[in-house]
Amino acid sequence: MRLIYFAWVRERIGKPEEDVELPAGIETVADLLRWLKSRGEEYEHALQFPDVIRVAINQEHVGHREKIAGAREIALFPPMTGG
């Protein structure tokens, strides 16, 4: 599964994207954020306050309770500031 990061999430994690193999038991977006946060201090720094992280699965906004089965691409980013 491909993970993509934007803005300060990308800067804190230190890479724009990566492919990951998820361990068993990671079913929802919230599970994914919890697991990622445990992967090292750069992830801990980026995902310190998981509630503020916005998530898109296959380029569509989703909530943190969304199931991630079947996702090809999951993006994590801060609240948007376009317009």
Partner 1 sequence: MAGAVPGIRIQREDFDVAAEIAALTRDRADIGAVVTFSGLCRDEQGALSELELEHYPGMAEAEIGRIAAEATERWPLQGLTVIHRHGKIAPGENIVLVVAASAHRQAAFEAANFLMDYLKSRAPFWKKEHLTDGSHGGWVEAKEADDRAADRWKKSGG
Return residues touching partner 1 (CB under 8 A). 4, 6-8, 56, 59-61, 75, 77-83
| Strand 2-5, strand 17-19: pairing | antiparallel
DSSP code of 67?
B
Task: Give the type of residue at 48.
Answer: Q
Q: How far is the CB of 33 from partner 1 (least distance, A)?
A: 18
Minimum distance from residue 32 beta carbon to partner 1 (Å): 18
* In the complex, least distance from residue 11 CB atom to partner 1, rounded to whole angstroms: 8
**Considering beta carbons, is residue 38 or 81 the nearer one to partner 1?**
81
- Ranges of beta strands (E only) in 1-83 are 2-5, 17-19, 54-57, 60-62, 73-77
Looking at the Cβ atoms of 4 and 22, the one nearer to partner 1 is 4
C-beta of 27 vs 56, nearer to partner 1: 56
Task: State the DSSP code for 43.
Answer: H
